[in-house]
Structure 1
Amino acid sequence: MPTGGVLTIDTASVLVDADYLTQCPGLAVGEYTRLRVSDTGTGMPQEVIDRVFEPFFTTKAPGQGTGLGLAMVYGLVTGAGGTVNIYSEEGMGTTITIMLPVTDQCPHATPKTSGRSSQEIRGHGETVLLLEDEPALRQVCQRLLTAGGYHVLAPDDSTAALDTARRHRGRIDLLLTDVVMPHLLGTALAEQVTALHPETGVLFMSGYDTPVLAAQGTLDPHITLLEKPFTRTQLIAAVHQALHGERPPPAAPR
C-alpha cells in the first residue's frame, strides 16, 4: 500500500461442507479456523498470483526482497493440513485467506452443528436474479437456491442480467450479485435493476471483506455482505434475511 490504506486481520471458525469445497478446493469436510488478511493496496495481476508462492519469485527490485516469505507461509500451512488462497485484482487490493484444521480428528466426519439448518429455512418460489461472473460458483449458487425453494434467474454477465430484468414480466424478489465484476460494479447493477423493479431487494457477495470494499469506495460499510467462500447454510440464511429482514430464529435449547 504505497500511499497508505486499510489493513484488516480477522479470524473465524468455519464449518466446511461440500459446497464450500467447490469454491475453495484443497480442504476436507470438517471444522477449520480461518485467518484472513486484507489490504486496500495496488492488488496483483493474474500472472503474479499464479507464481506468488514460488520460492524466490518476487516483484521487488534487486536487494529489496528474497521472494521466500509467501513460499515459507505456503509450506508451513499446507504442512499442517491447511490451505492458503489469494483473491486479488489490480486496483482493488488483496485478500489472503489461511484455513487450518481445528483438530486432528478424521476430516471426513461431518461436524455437528447447532442452530437452525438451511434445510429448515426454505423459500416459497420467490424469484432470485443471480449474477456471478465465475461460472462454477454461479452454478453452485443456482443449484443451492433452487434446492432451497427459490426460482433462480442466472444470466452469464451484467449485460444479460439487465436484459433479463427488462424482459421479466413477473416479480423479481431479490438481486444476488457479486460486487466486483468486469464492466459493471454490482452496486451500479443494483441501481439499474431496482429502477426497473422497485420491489426488488439486494444482497451483495464478494471475496473481499467489507472494510476493503468500503475503503475503495466500492460498497457502503453498513451494507450486509455475503463473504465468499460460503456454506449452503450461510447462503440460504443470508437470502432469507435479505428477503424477510430478519435472521432465522435460533434452535430450541437442548
Structure 2
Amino acid sequence: MTNANKDFYHVDEVAKILDIKKSTVYSYASKGLIERLPDPHRLLRGGKYSRTSVDQLARQKQAAAEAGRSINDVAEGIGVSAGKVRKVIEELELDVKKVEAPFEKASYRFAITPEQEEAIAEHLQKRNTTRPKRNQLYLQQLDAALYQSYQIAGDQFVRLREHPERGYGFFLEHEQFITLQEGLNLYELKPRYSIHSRRKKDGPGFTDIDVLFGTPEFYQILDVLLATCGVENFNVEIMGGKYELRSGMAAILGMRLQIRKQ
C-alpha cells in the first residue's frame, strides 16, 4: 500500500499535519479526538492513527483558523492579557463568533476577525495614551486632596468636598457647609492621614477595577491610595463625567482604577 493510499498515519505525520507536539497526539487520542488503530505487533513506534479522523480534525482546525484568531492569540500578538481582550470585546460590543473547536477544552472557541482585532488594538492603544498624567484630586494651593478624610470629633470624620459657590470645605449635619480654613481653625479638624509620600518609580502589572463613585468602596480605596501612596504616586483626571485614576505604585498595589460617577 503506497503512502498516499494507506488508511493511517504514524505519530510523526499526525504531529506535522495538526501542527502539534507528539505528546499532544497521544492526548488527542486518549480524548477521542483522533482514532488510534490497533497495532498488536507494535510495528510502528508511537502507534498508528486513523487517516479519516486525523484529516477531519485537520479540516476543523483549518476552518477555525480561517474564521479568525483566538482570544489568546490576539492577546499574545498585542502584548496584553486575554482578560483585557475579553473586556474590550464587551466594551465595544463586538459580535465575535463562536466556532467549533473540539481540540479546545470547551469544544469551541471565539474567532476574532482581522477587523475586530484592529479595533481591539486601537481601543487598547487609545486607553494607554489617554491615561491621566497628573492627580487632579490634589489641591496644591490648599495642600489637600478632594475627598480626603478629616477627623471631626471622637471617631467621626468628614470629607473635603467642593461647594459650587463657597469653594472647598466640609458638609456637616443638616447640610451646614464650612470652608476648609473654618474647619481647621474653628472646628480644629485634622487630616486622618498624610497625603504625601516620596516619589517612587512606576512598576509593571496593572489591574483595572471599575468602582462606582460615592460608594463605600470608592472612599475605602481612595483612603488607601492617599494614605499609602501619597498624591505623588497616583494620577487622577476628570474626563467626560468619569474619574480616571491610575496608581503609579503597581509594585505595591498593582492596580489602576476607573471610577464611574453616578
Normalised by the length of structure 1, the TM-score is 0.22
Over alpha carbons, which structure has the higher Rg? 2
TM-score normalized by the length of structure 2: 0.22
Query: Which structure carries more helix by proportion?
Result: 2
